[in-house]
Amino acid sequence: MKEVSKKGNHRNSERFSTGIGVLMATLGSAVGLGNIWKFPYLTGSNGGAAFLIVYIICTILVGFPILVAEHMLGRKGRGDAVSTFENVAPKSAWWVIGASGILAAFLIMAFYTEVAGWVFAYVFKSFGSGLLSTDPEVTSSIFASLVSNPVQSLIWQWIVLAVVGAIIMLGVAKGIEGTTKRLLPILALLLIIIGIRSITLPGAGQGLSFLFKPDFSKITAPVILTAMGLAFFKLSIGMGCMLTYGSYYSEDQNIPKNAARVVAADLTVSILAGIAIFPAVFSFGFEPAAGTQLLFITIPSVFASMPLGGVFMVAFFLLTAFAAIGAMISLVEVVVAFLVNRTKLGRKKSTLITVVSMAVVGSLAALSNSTMANVTVFGKTFFDLYDYVSSNILLPVGGLMIAIFATWVWGWPRFKEALSNNGALANEGVLKAVYNILKFVSPVLVAIILLTGLNIVHI
Ligand code: PFF
């Protein structure tokens, strides 16, 4: 639903009904393949514990304050990614952040839907017994046969997009709140069960050392950029997605507290996924730096070594699919909310146009392991390119701008007023700390990490 005020601004009039609804919906966007697939694969490829530490530092000093700022501006602006900036900063160019967010949503969806497609396919594969193996060669070849088949890759991606499109057409409240609320605690519980099995495997200690005992020699400027990119991607920030969520907040909800809970819960799920995967990687002789396939080749081996493994495996991939759907809903929402506000298309047509365009852009990523495996840009397949450009460039640049806008432009008096709910919350100390980090620390860190990680400046 939208209202167009007299000034012609587009304002969103939907609100989440309860505090827990907001928390769960926000988590529905944050928790997804980023935790279960991307976090373990990047940690594995970038040296383990030291990467984890850099990632956590980026989450606290960059991710958390920007998440707060996005929710704050989203609640003030009450619009889509672009009109929020037009509402809070009329007659300025800040809306460009929203526009770059829409581009980022496309690029992320292009590869995310492919990985989600692998998850969907694995739900079905889990019903057979073929996947249940502790032999790296067996699990790798099953994965390879899926991704090297162009027809299967495309069809699974389209199925994913069709499912997400259909959910969005049902509307914001039902679509977003309903699907994501109930399933996250079950996913966390399942990860704990898998983690317990994994750490009791013979030789599991090596995996735990890999995840928790840092070797800082592994840290280079590009590795730090990857960790920061993951922090942005994980919290769905730097691209207007969390602005859209902020627009659904009611005036009395405590934004900083909610954001802290989101960060803590999100980090917990990622670490649980790491504990489920790395001990098994070392116990069965997988390669921690296996890359994007890591989850798919190693997790079946944990299930193969536990009672009722087949049943747990179906549940695991199903819950992962749901978590991915929650995140994708929020990504598609960024584009759909914009189209609904800006055009006369209406919700259904906007959604349809969005998912069909995403299928077109995404097909290049879907074919990156088969037909288009040899087509590269800057040495990267389209799958890797979409991921790199969105996580490591667009989101950090967007986040940098949001941090600058919220502090240097928007300023302390309005920041304090908005986040203390007009003085109703006694949280000035916390706000002051978040504000100063957002003003002086986050932008400097993001700028340095971007410039060195992209090799523009050498330190
Ligand atoms: N945060 C999601 C994940 O970690 O899976 C991915 C994501 C969702 C990124 C929404 C960006 C976004 F706007």
Buried b (16+ CB within 10 A) or exposed e, 387-408: bbbbbbbbbbbbbbbbbbbbbe
- Are 360 and 158 in contact, with CB atoms under 8 Å apart? no
What number is the average pLDDT over the span 201-214?
Answer: 97
| pLDDT for the residue 1 | 42
CA distances from 270 to 8, 9, 32, 232, 278 (A): 42, 39, 9, 14, 12
- List, as one string, the DSSP characters of 16-48: -SSHHHHHHHHHHHHSSHIIIIIHHHHHHHTTT
**pTM value?**
0.94
Protein residue closest via CA to atom 12 of ligand 1:
236
Using the atom order of ligand 1, give the atom closest to the CA of residue 30. Answer: 1
Going from the Cα of 328 to the center of ligand 1, the distance in angstroms, rounded, reads: 7
Ligand 1 mutation target, pool 29, 103, 187, most atoms within 8 A of CB? 29
- Residue 288: both structure tokens together: 């921690």
- Residue 309: both structure tokens together: 């493994």
Going from the Cα of 130 to the center of ligand 1, the distance in angstroms, rounded, reads: 31
Helix, coil or strand: residue 13: coil
Task: Give residue ranges with CB within 6 A of ligand 1.
Answer: 29-30, 32-35, 108, 233-234, 236, 239, 241, 327, 330-331
Ligand 1 mutation target, pool 234, 325, 335, 395, most atoms within 8 A of CB? 234
Going from the Cα of 241 to the center of ligand 1, the distance in angstroms, rounded, reads: 8
Q: Quote the percentage of the chain above a pLDDT of 90.
A: 79
Query: Radius of gyration (Cα) for the chain, nearest Å?
Result: 21
In tens, the pLDDT along 34-76 reads 999 999 999 999 999 999 999 999 999 999 999 999 999 999 9
In tens, the pLDDT along 441-458 reads 999 999 999 999 998 888
Is 2-453 a CATH 1.20.120 domain?
no
| pLDDT for the residue 96 | 93
Going from the Cα of 331 to the center of ligand 1, the distance in angstroms, rounded, reads: 7
- Are 366 and 157 in contact, with CB atoms under 8 Å apart? yes
| 122/146 Cα distance (integer angstroms) | 9
Protein residue closest via CA to atom 11 of ligand 1:
236
Going from the Cα of 314 to the center of ligand 1, the distance in angstroms, rounded, reads: 23
Q: Quote the percentage of the chain above a pLDDT of 70.
A: 93
Going from the Cα of 112 to the center of ligand 1, the distance in angstroms, rounded, reads: 9
Going from the Cα of 361 to the center of ligand 1, the distance in angstroms, rounded, reads: 18
CB proximity list for 269: less than 8 A, separation 6 or greater: 31, 35, 36, 184, 187, 188, 191
| pLDDT for the residue 455 | 86
- At 2, is the pLDDT very low, low, confident or very high (cuts 50, 70, 90)? very low
| pLDDT for the residue 459 | 75
CB proximity list for 125: less than 8 A, separation 6 or greater: 131, 142, 146
Calculate the dihedral angle through the C-alpha atoms of 224, 230, 231, 237, rounding to the nearest 10 degrees. 130
Ligand 1 mutation target, pool 36, 237, 330, most atoms within 8 A of CB? 330
What number is the average pLDDT over the span 2-21?
Answer: 56
| 8/12 Cα distance (integer angstroms) | 13
| pLDDT for the residue 3 | 43
pLDDT surpassing 50 at residue 247:
yes
pLDDT surpassing 80 at residue 392:
yes
In tens, the pLDDT along 319-343 reads 999 999 989 998 998 999 899 889 9
Q: Where are the chain's structural domains? A: 2-453
| pLDDT for the residue 132 | 93
Q: Which amino acid type is present at position 444?
A: V
- At 20, is the pLDDT very low, low, confident or very high (cuts 50, 70, 90)? confident
pLDDT surpassing 50 at residue 201:
yes
Q: Report the run of H or E that residue 10 belongs to, with start and end.
A: strand 10-12
User: What are φ and ψ of residue 380, in 5° steps?
Assistant: -120, 145
